[in-house]
Structure 1
Amino acid sequence: MTDHVLPRSVRIGYGSGSVATGAFGTVPGLMLLPYLTDEVGIAAIAAGFIVFLPKAWDVVLNPVAGRISDRTVDPRGPRRPWLLRAGIALAVCFALLFAAPDMATGLEAAWVLVMFLACASAYAFFQVPYVSMPAEMTPSYDERTRLMTWRVAILAFTILLAGATAPIIRDEVGGRDGYRLMGVAMAVIILVGVLSAYRGTRAAPLGTVQPGAGTLRDQLRIVAGARDFRLLLVTFVVQALAVGCVLAGVDYLAEDVLDSTGAVTVLFAGFVGPALLLTPIWSAVGQRIGKKRGYVASSLFLAVGALVAALADTAPFGVLVGAVVLMGVGYAGCQVFPMAMMPDAAAVDARRTGSHRIGVYTGVWTAGETFGLALGPAVFALVLQLGGYRSGADAVQPDSAVTAIVLGFALLPAILILLSLWWLSRYSLDASEVSA
């Protein structure tokens, strides 16, 4: 195909992998911290450590997964076998994550830590090959944006589905059994995404993968020297940290500030729902004004919405919902643009150097995203601890803890989003350079 346009079936097939990544990326960030503090009953700071440590492990593991997938030789291609192997392992481990038997508090916490570490390891070997595929499917700047549009639209739907239904399943059953059933349900969703992506990309026109020369340390040093990739990565990681704080705070905001468990679903739908409608619009905006300008605009929407949401403990509920919807408008663009810009930066480097390192690039990228999303709940847990949050299902929270929840959910993410624009402003790649 001279215009490098991919069949719709391949776009949808590739995008369906976001069913797995969306469920795993959302539910632990939304549910695991409350599970540890309110159900298991451990202190907020210890719960934050358990949530953070396995994902921090991916910072080391993801580049390794990228290098291994670069060097995989298989009739199905270097990436697809990993989608199946690691994806099935991820689904199994996730079902076990919330399934700890009744034990002493310390043993239950250890169970969660071990299972979450297993989930994170399996996820690395699914996500890195998955994110590596677009740059190998097409060399087209615009086609990669269209491909990411499908991925982000499906991602948004999955985040909405998983994030909205997980609390409902938990609350409908109640207690430990509620968490256990929720874990199994989310594992099934992950498995559906894994199998759909594996089957849907069987006809994808993947290019020949040539592993980069030198040791892993050498490759990482070269990637670190790619200025535009580095700037984009820092922007994305800081914003992932902000989103991680938002996700971690939703359940606490609903139960301890609004005193309404049902508000979790409403707020979550308000945050993620706009992406279902606006992802194609943000994609069109990017093609008209450029990806960088689109990314800046969407970041400002997200930051302004978060600033308004900081009034959660005093403003009417309708104002809070409107603020969260505004955040969701920005969040949609903040997913579309960086995912479309990252393959551009990797492709430019490959053309300049003659060495194909997309697996290493995406390994570092995924490690950064995972690190940011994991650090968000840990930072939020630290804010809770500083605010005097009391663990336990029946604990009554002091005013300082309520204030901490609002600050961690809204004001801190707004500051982080605005801070990220300093790095994004220095990013320089545009369509002319990428398509050269």
Structure 2
Amino acid sequence: MTKQRRGESGMSSVHRAAGAASRPVGVGTLFAFAAPALGLYAVGLPVAVYLPPFYANDLGLGLTVVGQIFMLCRLFDLAADLGLGAVSDRVRSRFGRRRSMLVLAVPLMGLGAWQMFMPPAGAGPLYVLCWLVVMYAGYALGVISHMSWGAELSPDYHQRSRIQGWREMAGIIGIVALLALPALIEQMRGGTKAEHIAAMGWFIIAIFPLGVLWCAIKVPDPSTATTGPSSHPGLRETVLTVARNRLVRRVLLADLLAGVPPAVTGALFIFMIEAVARTPGITSTLLLGYFVAGIVGIPAWMAISQRFGKHRAFALGALWNCVLALCFLLIEPGDSTTLTVITLLYGLGYASGTFLLKAIMADVADEDEMRSGHNRTGLFFGVLTMTNKVGFALAVGVTYPLLALFGFSPEAAASTPAGQPIAGTGALMAVFVFLPFAMNLAAAAIMARFPLDAARLAEVHRVLSARRAGE
């Protein structure tokens, strides 16, 4: 009798946990959960947009060397993503599985940001390589644990879009705040580019720990009773697990394809403004407007997802980005009005793919658990982070040497008088426009008929609920 009552008590606790998880996540919880993204996203933007030109031009390392360093660090970090994702699934701590790993990311990312954004005079390639690896390690640990935590806050198909949408909005707000710093410093007391870069570093060092602290205190970390047991695969089994899951393969390929365009845009945006549009004075303002438009666009993409499904909303967003990429070909030198309008419209689609694919991957992790009996959420988000890094590595590691090969020089572009042609601008615009166009088009085709929708996910959760109740 006692054993039966214990079983009934365990079953009822699982049902209560599942029922609570399926209710809408409160706004207060969403605010707290999204807070770490303020610092995490702030790392992504300057690494792609500001740090490569800063090290290539201001510190004199050159385009080719900087491109190779950033690509090498990203590729070297890929294996770490697999390991960190799997480790985050295995953690058993009274402080929480995802919470503990997110807290561990703080010192790594803070130390790496301090060294990368405030380098000493004469910092060379080895210095950049070492500290970039440290910063990326903290960034990867933070992103994987944070995304996995969000995937487990609710099993609901549409709630997951809402959770990841809030995370995305917080992240873009962090980017906007970071972009506003150089403008504020310049208005207050001018300042050099090195001082602007240092201010960005201090922003990251300050805001990320505060966001993690708020999240760690206020957000529940689901137990394995509601998420299922995790597996402990080795590297070979991990690769086979990912390779055998067709849904994971499709999401990863779509993420790789959709991740390259914003990385290319970010890596080449300053060069395009200075060498093609010839309006260098509005670079920071345009970037600020681009990301503000991204924040404005997220509620619209959430509504489209609610109406048509996440995979169709993703495909529509990718097509939107295809059209706007082509519009940059309309820009003439000095035409700041057309440039501003296109940049703002392009910004509306900036976040359409990132948060929707994260929400879709959470659904895929549940479907995999139904088939395998193991929770691999952290592993799958680790691989998702890996494909994103491949995109950013290719953006800098391939485009910079390619532009150098075709004769484009940032120093020559900056010193060429208005009205005179700049070597390599044709290659610059070809990469800036047509590479994102082709990638987004392919990503839309891959996800347009994705089979895991709200109805299918509801069936998955019925099976998981019955299994967990039995356990």
Q: Please, what TM-score do these two structures have when normalized by structure 1?
A: 0.92
Query: How many Å apart are 1:80 and its aligned residue?
Result: 0.7
Q: 1:305-329 CA distances to partner (integer Å, 9 max, x unpaired)?
A: 1110133345822212222222112
> Would the alpha carbon gap of residues 421 and 301 (structure 1) be closer, same or farther in structure 2, given more than 3 Å must change?
same
Aligned to 1:223: 242
Q: 1:273-294 CA distances to partner (integer Å, 9 max, x unpaired)?
A: 1222221221111111111111
In the aligned structure 1, how far is the partner of 2:342 from the partner of 2:151? 36
Alignment of 1:318-337 (within 5 A): 318-337=337-356
> Would the alpha carbon gap of residues 214 and 148 (structure 1) be closer, same or farther in structure 2, given more than 3 Å must change?
closer
2:72 paired with 1:72: no
Query: How many Å apart are 1:156 and its aligned residue?
Result: 1.9
> Would the alpha carbon gap of residues 187 and 406 (structure 1) be closer, same or farther in structure 2, given more than 3 Å must change?
farther
Query: How many Å apart are 1:65 and its aligned residue?
Result: 0.4
Corresponding residue to 2:200 among 168, 179, 182:
182
- State the identity %: 25
Corresponding residue to 2:159 among 132, 143, 146:
143
8 A Cα contact 2:115 2:131, kept in partner:
yes
Alignment of 1:193-342 (within 5 A): 193-201=211-219, 203-208=220-225, 210-314=229-333, 316-342=335-361
Query: How many Å apart are 1:205 and its aligned residue?
Result: 4.1
Corresponding residue to 2:142 among 97, 119, 126:
126
8 A Cα contact 1:65 1:128, kept in partner:
yes
In the aligned structure 2, how far is the partner of 1:130 from the partner of 1:220? 22
Corresponding residue to 1:158 among 174, 179, 187:
174
Greater Cα shift, 295-304 or 308-317: 308-317
In the aligned structure 1, how far is the partner of 2:195 from the partner of 2:297? 37
> Would the alpha carbon gap of residues 307 and 321 (structure 1) be closer, same or farther in structure 2, given more than 3 Å must change?
same
Larger radius of gyration: 2
What one-letter code is carried by the residue in structure 2 that aligns with 1:182? M
8 A Cα contact 1:310 1:411, kept in partner:
no
Query: How many Å apart are 1:166 and its aligned residue?
Result: 4.8
Aligned to 2:442: 419
Q: Please, what TM-score do these two structures have when normalized by structure 2?
A: 0.85
Greater Cα shift, 380-389 or 171-180: 171-180
In the aligned structure 2, how far is the partner of 1:22 from the partner of 1:65? 19
> Would the alpha carbon gap of residues 164 and 241 (structure 1) be closer, same or farther in structure 2, given more than 3 Å must change?
farther
Corresponding residue to 1:429 among 452, 460, 467:
452
What one-letter code is carried by the residue in structure 2 that aligns with 1:134? G
> Would the alpha carbon gap of residues 290 and 37 (structure 1) be closer, same or farther in structure 2, given more than 3 Å must change?
same
Query: How many Å apart are 1:146 and its aligned residue?
Result: 1.5
8 A Cα contact 2:157 2:457, kept in partner:
yes
In the aligned structure 2, how far is the partner of 1:330 from the partner of 1:192? 29
In the aligned structure 2, how far is the partner of 1:11 from the partner of 1:253? 37
In the aligned structure 2, how far is the partner of 1:315 from the partner of 1:396? 16
In the aligned structure 1, how far is the partner of 2:412 from the partner of 2:57? 5
> Would the alpha carbon gap of residues 177 and 321 (structure 1) be closer, same or farther in structure 2, given more than 3 Å must change?
closer
Greater Cα shift, 339-348 or 327-336: 327-336
> Would the alpha carbon gap of residues 188 and 389 (structure 1) be closer, same or farther in structure 2, given more than 3 Å must change?
farther
Q: 1:173-222 CA distances to partner (integer Å, 9 max, x unpaired)?
A: 11434433432233323333333333332x34454462214423213311
8 A Cα contact 1:165 1:265, kept in partner:
no
In the aligned structure 1, how far is the partner of 2:376 from the partner of 2:329? 42
Number of residue pairs matched? 432
> Would the alpha carbon gap of residues 295 and 158 (structure 1) be closer, same or farther in structure 2, given more than 3 Å must change?
same
Query: Unaligned stretches of 5+ in structure 2?
Result: 1-18, 460-471
Aligned to 2:132: 116
Q: 1:33-60 CA distances to partner (integer Å, 9 max, x unpaired)?
A: 1112211122312111112221222210
What one-letter code is carried by the residue in structure 2 that aligns with 1:179? I
Q: 1:136-158 CA distances to partner (integer Å, 9 max, x unpaired)?
A: 22221121111112111112212
8 A Cα contact 2:106 2:209, kept in partner:
yes
In the aligned structure 1, how far is the partner of 2:238 from the partner of 2:111? 33
8 A Cα contact 1:24 1:190, kept in partner:
no
What one-letter code is carried by the residue in structure 1 that aligns with 2:162? R
8 A Cα contact 1:41 1:393, kept in partner:
no
In the aligned structure 2, how far is the partner of 1:16 from the partner of 1:260? 35
> Would the alpha carbon gap of residues 44 and 169 (structure 1) be closer, same or farther in structure 2, given more than 3 Å must change?
farther
8 A Cα contact 1:43 1:391, kept in partner:
no
Aligned to 2:371: 352
In the aligned structure 2, how far is the partner of 1:310 from the partner of 1:85? 45
Greater Cα shift, 79-88 or 399-408: 399-408
Alignment root-mean-square deviation, CA: 2.3
Greater Cα shift, 208-217 or 225-234: 208-217
In the aligned structure 1, how far is the partner of 2:85 from the partner of 2:205? 24
8 A Cα contact 1:300 1:330, kept in partner:
no
SS where residue 400 of structure 1 aligns? coil
SS where residue 351 of structure 2 aligns? helix
> Would the alpha carbon gap of residues 36 and 401 (structure 1) be closer, same or farther in structure 2, given more than 3 Å must change?
farther
In the aligned structure 1, how far is the partner of 2:196 from the partner of 2:153? 41
> Would the alpha carbon gap of residues 194 and 406 (structure 1) be closer, same or farther in structure 2, given more than 3 Å must change?
farther
> Would the alpha carbon gap of residues 429 and 17 (structure 1) be closer, same or farther in structure 2, given more than 3 Å must change?
same
